Structure 1
Amino acid sequence: MTAAALPAAASAQQNQHPSIFITRQEATEIRASAGKYPLLDRSIAAARAMVARAMANPTDVPQPGEAGGYAHERHKQNYREMQAAGLLFAITGDEKYARFVRDMLEKYAVLYPTLGAHPLNKNQSAGKLFHQSLNDATWLVATSIAYDCIHDWLKPAERARFEKNVFRPMAEWLSTEHAQEFDRIHNHGTWAAASVGMLGYVIGDTSYVNRALYGTKRDKTGGFLRQLDLLFSPDGYYMEGPYYIRYALMPFFYFAEAVERKQPSVGIYAYRDSILKKGLYSAVQTAYPNGIFPPINDASRTMAVDAPEVTLAVDLAYRRYGANQNLLGIANLQNAVVLNGAGLGVARAMAARSTPPAVGFGSVEFTDGHDGQRGGLGILRSGTGRDASMLLMKYGVHGQGHGHFDKLHFTFFDGGREVVPDYGFSRWINIEPKFGGRYLPENDTYAMQTVAHNTVVVDQTTQAAGKESASEAAWGERHWFDARNPNAQGMSARADKFYPGVGMQRTMLLLRDARLPYPVVVDLYRLASGAEHTYDYPVHFRGPLIATSVKYQANTTRLEPVGQKFGYEHLWKEASGTSDSTVRLTWLDGSRYYTITTAAAPGTEVLFARTGAADPNFNLIAEPLMLVRRRAADHTFASVIEPHGYFNEAQERSEQARPRIQQVRLVGSDAQATVVEVTGEGGLRWTVMATNGAANATAQHSATFGGRTYTWTGNFAVEGLQAPR
């Protein structure tokens, strides 16, 4: 689908204000809805309270300062308050809100012409109000909405002054001075395009609109449409990961809404087979059952679906793409709506329900890369509600500058918690004393490194030697994904281009057995090489270590790092030992125990470590991990993760602190198949058979190990599994 250019002579309808996010008719409908829809009333009350607090204090437009410092946060709060005040003026007609926006813009009209590039940009694309141009773009997005709302109330001379002193210079700074960043296929480019395009609609400047849609060269090598073409896979997965699509949802949907209202001929919501809808749905479907986004790539561990960016996207998607039960379920978690017709529609739908809607996402696989041919992300789910289990494996693209070197990495959520976690980013966001709230040096030296993730490290070296360009040139390869049977779900992927001469394949299953109270994870990680290597299999956890089968020597008086580089320098070696049979580790997380049981060949080394070494500024979060080490050419790590028992300190109760699964034995593994036996209490005996060769969901497969031939149909099978009734 091609996009139409905005006519040079705008129509009378296009010149109406406000129009890019809310219209006078919508404002009238919202005003008439007072007291009818609790969610809308609550959101309006929150906006009123925010602006009332701002009005109670002198308006402050300070000189730019450090990221996370007072000036940085003040300018952020200023644009939020201006946007809220502008919308409240449109809805209520109360001129105090318009005066608030005008008076603040007056101060910016004095300050902005005096500013050059931010002095603390530290080699980033500099803004003027903020240390990076990204934040200037977010300021302009919000303020364009506020300006649109009070546009007709302002005097012509005031409009001329604001556009001359602030708006046009900022748009030129973002799109001309930083043309490369503006055209960059990245969330920074998305924000820049959205901000300049939205301003263009408000002030009637078609050159800004076309620059935003098609890029600085007007040939679609950059710009908003190119972002939609390249940042999402065909099924909507965003290459930088859930945390960053959460952030990018705001410019994507704000600008899309403006385009739809001002240039409906573009068909922006239908563009690329409704890619915006798919982008939102893929984002929220990656969330854990508690609503928190999995912290893959550079990401916070606490960002959730109630973020304002997701609230915006959910409300607009509900209006533009039609009613959807899961969207209302997310809106119920958000407990807020945006202040326009879309928010009114969601609030009305929520008020009409007698019971709160629930979110019901199931297992899903997303392809990665703009062509959908660059690996993906697999998610297996079992159960319902916040106590559901979720297993995630990542095998897609690197994710540009925010990507981590973590192919075939997994996380496991169970019992309302991420119990096998991802470290996420190394950053104390917006906490100015911690490196100005920026990404810390340890983000590069630890958080991005392979050992910081739950995937195998070869020769204590990060994947692709820790080089972003090399990792960007390769990606994981989807093998198979099968979630048809809710009691036996599985996924498999390869990553053969990240360690020279080493092939890696991981197969993960999520199984329900009537003899076990919770779903368990089966993990089969196969490595193949023509030469010997040291393979490290790390498993990260958070709770206290309860018990282990490993006979270890603890380092109680002196600690040393596990290694010297690639993230190992940040791991204190707390204990080590060897095991010739089964490696078992039990820890407590929340009210539930977890045990990982791993098959071990003779001479297997086990290290117990904790983050915090080479960290003089105490930037790292101190957390434990177990690292199973094996020296071999070909090797398969076969493990089972079993949730079990119950702990309640207040009641002094502890039940089934020991696992029921007793042994995991690797029967055999080669290029065609892996076979594992799992035994446990009560006669539990599984034979797990997984296809390593060509994937085929209906074909019969066979493998012979130790003189016995195993046969099964499909890509995997589990003999002896007793399905719950």
Structure 2
Amino acid sequence: MCRRIFRLIGVQLAVLWMAQLSMVQAQEHPKLILTKAGVERIRAELGTVPLFDASLERMQADVDAEIAMGIDTPIPRDYSGGYTHERHKRNFLMLQKAGVLYQILQDEKYARYVRDMLFQYEAMYKDLPIHPKERSYARGKLFWQCLNDSNWLVYVSQAYDCIYEWLSAGERQQLETNLFRPFADFISIENPQFFNRIHNHSTWGNAAVGMIGLVMGDEELVERALYGIKDDGLKAAERDDDGGLIRMEGQKAGFLANLDEPFSPDGYYTEGPYYQRYASYPFLLMAVGLQNIRPEMQIFAHKDSVLLKSVYALINLSDADGEFFPLNDAQKGMSYYSRELVSAVNIAYHYGEKDPELLSIAKKQGRVLLTDSGLSVALGLREDKSLPFEKSSVNLTDGAEGKEGGIAVLRRDDLELVFKYTAQGLSHGHYDKLSYMLYDRGQDILQDYGMARFVNIEQKGGGNYLKENTSWAKQSIAHNTLIQNETSHFDGRYETGSKHHSELYFYDTSNKEIQVVSAKERNAYPGTELHRTIALIAEEGYDHPIVLDILKVEAEGDNQYDLPFHFMGQLMEANFQYETPAALEAFGTKNGYQHLYLEGYGTPSGINTQLSWYRSGRFYTLITTSEAEDELLFTRLGADDPEFNLRRDAAFMVRRKGHPSTVFASIIEPHGSYSPVSEIAVKAESKIKALKILYSDREYLVVGVEDQTGNRSVFLMVLDDADKTKEHKLIINNTEYAWTGPYYYLKSKQ
């Protein structure tokens, strides 16, 4: 009995000691992203970890150059790309770096630089009015929108943490009273329409308030950041700069809600990889701060470790060159070489399972964070633990519970096919259900336009979204999907699109010779069901895998259907006659059609239409089934674009009229090569002779492919039952086919 009592007392004392130790550690600085123990380890390893040392050298050179130039905190006046905007952005980046350098090098010039700049901001902020530019739904003070003000505070909170103990108590009180607390209140309480929503904007705001709260030991700010503002007075009718609703009925707010709602269990972020990349910085940096200061929250285990999964999702949503697929609003060319992904990879490695495949991405990035996690990565590379990151086919669900569609990426050899059947994607979503993109060796062959915006280029709309983002980039015609009666999906209405999502029919990559994804969309047009199935087929006899695309439409009444193919490259030839107009005119009047010129038009010459083009050393041929009355159209962007905001990209379109229901079957075949050095074209002609729809009703759909040597293959599909165990039998042209599951592919035979 006595032993039990002593043991209990011992446990209680141990718990009390750990709690006291935790409180002591919580008062130490740095504690947010860097830790005291981490800094000591970094200092001990200096000069022995090549990638860390190189990153430190680059950062020191960058900050030293800024210190030599002097501090400038101008009165704000510009949009993105303007001097004051870029100066304040540069300032917060330099403040964060200088704080880190002070901790690692113990050189007080960096602490003085941070202090002096912070006090310049303190002197100006208390009398600073709202930013003079009036475009944003939530105007900032330092910047034209609260989003950028939040960027500032996320970075500056790290700098403040690094020099916290170097400052006097009076200096800290002055900064917190006149700058940091008012700043946090402004982007939260004074702008609930920005702070209290589910959106990447709010994630930045939540993290900004939370991180400065963690540094200051301000529990009220931290709770506000985690759970949002109660009784914010917001109405569902309020909209943001992109036309999206600020608040959906019953929606929660705060950092944890932004972690729970936009992420699927697979780590896919509903706004798409471009904004997932952007939001990954505040998500992960705030998480590190919580892990260091509130370890009991186990933030990296939250929602089955969704933050760590999100890093893998991002990498898997990049092409062979590391550039993110431009789903929804996205600037083409953004990649995992960005500073946000350097942070993401470092943090995922350090707080995850020390995955050696992440080290190969870090090695490509060529730099690390100068933090505990960055040192872990650099040490792993020093010890040669890196393994290649193997990107294979993947299907990522969308929606908080993974039940709102998703993204499938089929990969084989050099080809990557990206099939989108997601939810709307919040205000950055596009109206492109069942669309797809095709990449070959990192080059887009069938493209998604991305967004109409020149980020941080002042000459183009102050670096903000252009009106063409709404009138073109978001519209259905800007994507490789079906358009009914020249009207975008959901009539281009955000409220309608936000209520619906496409549904996966099946996804199967168990056989690497044929990988298939199939999904249905029942709400894009009233009374219409779209069912699209795409297969990536690697078969003997072809130079490269081919893409089989089957799109079945079931509708009511006679409709017009347009199926565009936004091909990239130089047109080689077509197997039909076409005319070119003497003068270019706009193809339509609305829903994106007003931005298209009609450059050519013709009709099919047979049961198949073929179009070939060349891009980056390889040829591509589109073969699609045709009906006699189809219209074959060549279009090019540029109409109704007086400021030349749009690229002059081309597209080929099949238009079919007078059908309630129909089937479009197509193949894209990569083949051959061309060398501009030898000037020799090899295998420039397609190997495919014919593509036929052999059978179609409400239960089954069968297509056949014949190559130039007479080999034939057949793809059979069940349209209304995806049960993998169900047996099927079908007789076509006196040939019986029997199989199990939703599809069957019979390889080529003569």
TM-score (norm 2): 0.92
Comparing 270-279 with 418-427, greater Cα deviation is found at 270-279
Counterpart of 1:52, as a letter, is D
For 1:381, which of 387, 404, 411 is the aligned residue?
Answer: 411
Deviation of residue 62 (structure 1)? 1.1
Aligned residue for 1:342?
A: 373
Cα drift, residue 218 of structure 1 = 9.8
* Alignment length (residue pairs): 710
Q: CA offset at residue 707 of structure 1?
A: 6.3
Q: What's the counterpart of residue 471 of structure 1? A: 497
Q: CA contact under 8 A between 1:672 and 1:703: conserved in structure 2?
A: no
Does the 8 Å contact 2:95/2:159 carry over to 1?
Answer: yes
Question: Which is worse superposed, 197-206 or 227-236?
Answer: 227-236
> Quick one: distance in 2 between partners of 1:339 and 1:9?
26
Which residue of the partner structure matches residue 39 of structure 2? 27
Partner of 1:638: 665
User: Partners in 2 of 1:564 and 1:59 — Cα distance?
Assistant: 52
Which of 405, 416, 421 pairs up with 1:395? 421
Deviates more, 1:45-54 or 1:432-441: 45-54
Is the alpha carbon distance of 1:329 and 1:692 closer, same or farther for their aligned partners in structure 2, counting shifts above 3 Å? farther
Quote the offset at 1:651 in angstroms.
Answer: 2.5
**C-alpha offsets along residues 423-445 of structure 1, whole Å, 9 cap, x if unaligned?**
00000110001000000000000
Give me the whole-angstrom Cα distance separating, in 1, the residues matched to 2:571 and 2:160.
Answer: 56
The 1:77/1:93 distance shift into structure 2, 3 A limit, reads same
The answer for the alignment partner of 2:15 in structure 1 is none
Corresponding residue of 2:546: 520
Relative to structure 1, the CA distance from residue 34 to residue 651 in structure 2 (aligned partners, 3 Å threshold; closer, same or farther) is: farther
Kept in 1: contact 2:568–2:650 (CA 8 A) = yes
Contact 1:67–1:432 under 8 Å retained in 2: yes
For structure 1, the residue ranges without an aligned partner over 5 or more in a row are: 1-6
User: Does the 8 Å contact 1:238/1:368 carry over to 2?
Assistant: yes
- The answer for the alignment partner of 1:216 in structure 2 is 229
45, 53, 62: which one aligns with 1:50: 62
The partner residue of 1:680 within 704, 707, 711 is: 707
CA distance in 1, matches of 2:748, 2:463: 50
The match for 1:573 is 598
Please show how residues 320-719 of structure 1 align to structure 2 within 5 Å. Answer: 320-353=351-384, 357-383=387-413, 388-555=414-581, 557-579=582-604, 580-631=606-657, 632-704=659-731, 709-719=736-746
Counterpart of 1:3 in structure 2 is: none
What is the CA–CA distance in structure 2 between the aligned matches of 1:416 and 1:472, rounded to whole Å? 32
Amino acid in the other structure paired with 2:679: E
Query: 1: CA distance between counterparts of 2:139 and 2:364?
Result: 36
1:234 equivalent to 2:265? Answer yes
- The one of 81, 97, 118 equivalent to 2:131 is 118
CA distance in 1, matches of 2:358, 2:517: 27
Residue of 153, 168, 171 corresponding to 1:155: 168
1:41-80 pair list within 5 angstroms: 41-64=53-76, 65-80=78-93
Q: Provide the rounded CA distance (Å) in 1 between the counterparts of 2:127 and 2:698.
A: 66
SS at match of 1:26: helix
Q: Partners in 1 of 2:594 and 2:314 — Cα distance?
A: 34
CA contact (8 A) 1:425 1:447 kept: yes
Structure 1 residue 686: Cα displacement: 1.2
What is the distance in 2 between the residues matched to 1:416 and 1:255? 33
Q: Which amino acid aligns with 1:172?
A: D
The correspondence of residues 235-314 of structure 1 with structure 2, limited to 5 A, is 235-314=266-345
| C-alpha displacement of 1:680 | 1.2
1:416 shift after superposition: 2.8
The one-letter amino acid of 2:410's match is: L
How large is the Cα RMSD of the aligned pairs?
1.8
Give the 5 Å matches for 1:103-142: 103-142=116-155
- Tell whether the 8 Å contact from 2:28 to 2:36 is kept in structure 1 after alignment: no
Alpha carbons 2:619, 2:673 under 8 Å: kept: yes
After TM superposition, the structure 1 stretch with the greater mean CA deviation from structure 2, 230-239 or 396-405, is 230-239
SS at match of 1:120: coil
Task: Please tell me whether the aligned partners of residues 487 and 511 of structure 1 are also in contact (alpha carbons under 8 angstroms).
Answer: yes
Match of 2:186 in 1: 173
Aligned partners of 2:34 and 2:371 also within 8 Å: yes
Contact preservation (8 Å) 2:477, 2:488: yes
* Residue type of the alignment partner of 1:209: V
Map of 2:247 onto structure 1: none
Give how far 1:704 is off: 4.8
2:196 corresponds, among 172, 179, 183, to 183
| Structure 1 residue 142 displacement after superposition | 0.3
- Kindly provide the amino acid, as one letter, of the partner of residue 678 in structure 1: V
Gap change, CA 1:218 and 1:459, over 3 Å in 2: closer
1 CA distance for matches of 2:442 and 2:469? 27
Worse overlay, 482-491 or 68-77: 68-77
Mean CA deviation greater in 370-379 or 403-412: 370-379
Instruction: Return the offset for 1:103.
Output: 1.4
Q: CA offset at residue 706 of structure 1?
A: 5.8
Maintained 8 Å contact 1:332/1:357: no
| CA contact 1:8–1:206 (8 Å) conserved in 2 | no
- The percent identity for this pair of structures is 39
Aligned equivalents of 2:252, 2:482: Cα separation in 1: 38
Distance 1:26 1:582, change over 3 A: same
Moved more, 304-313 or 324-333: 324-333
Residue 478 of structure 2 contacts residue 592 of structure 2 at CA under 8 Å; is this kept in 1? yes
Do the aligned partners of residues 721 and 102 (structure 1) sit closer, same or farther apart at CA in structure 2, a change above 3 Å counting?
Answer: farther
8 Å Cα contact 2:324-2:333 kept in structure 1: yes
Residue pair 2:227, 2:257 contacting (<8 A) in 1 also: yes
**Aligned equivalents of 1:240, 1:8: Cα separation in 2:** 42
Q: What is the DSSP-based 3-state SS (H/G/I as helix, E as strand, rest coil) of the residue aligned with 2:188?
A: helix
Asked whether the 8 Å contact 1:121–1:127 carries over to 2, the reply is: no
CA distance in 2, matches of 1:408, 1:455: 6
What letter matches 2:26 in structure 1?
A: Q
- Amino acid of the residue matched to residue 166 of structure 1? L
Residue 12 of structure 1 deviates from its aligned partner by 2.1
Query: Any idea what SS the aligned residue of 2:572 has?
Result: strand
Cα offset for 1:362?
1.1
Structure-1 separation of matches of 2:527 and 2:693: 24
Measured in 2, the distance between the counterparts of 1:337 and 1:690 equals 49
Q: Distance in 2 between matches of 1:27 and 1:248?
A: 26
Residue 11 in structure 1 maps to residue 23 in structure 2: yes
Whole-angstrom CA distance in 2 between matches of 1:697 and 1:278: 28
Deviation at 1:326, TM superposition (A): 2.5
**1-side partners of 2:390 and 2:457: how far apart?**
36
Aligned mates of 2:89, 2:524 — CA distance in 1: 41
| Residues 596, 637 of structure 2: 8 Å contact kept | yes
Cα distance in 2 for residues equivalent to 1:635 and 1:711: 25
Unaligned runs of 5+ in 2: 1-18, 233-250
Q: Contact 2:29 / 2:162 at 8 angstroms: preserved in 1?
A: yes
Distance 1:179 1:223, change over 3 A: same
Deviation at 1:573, TM superposition (A): 0.3
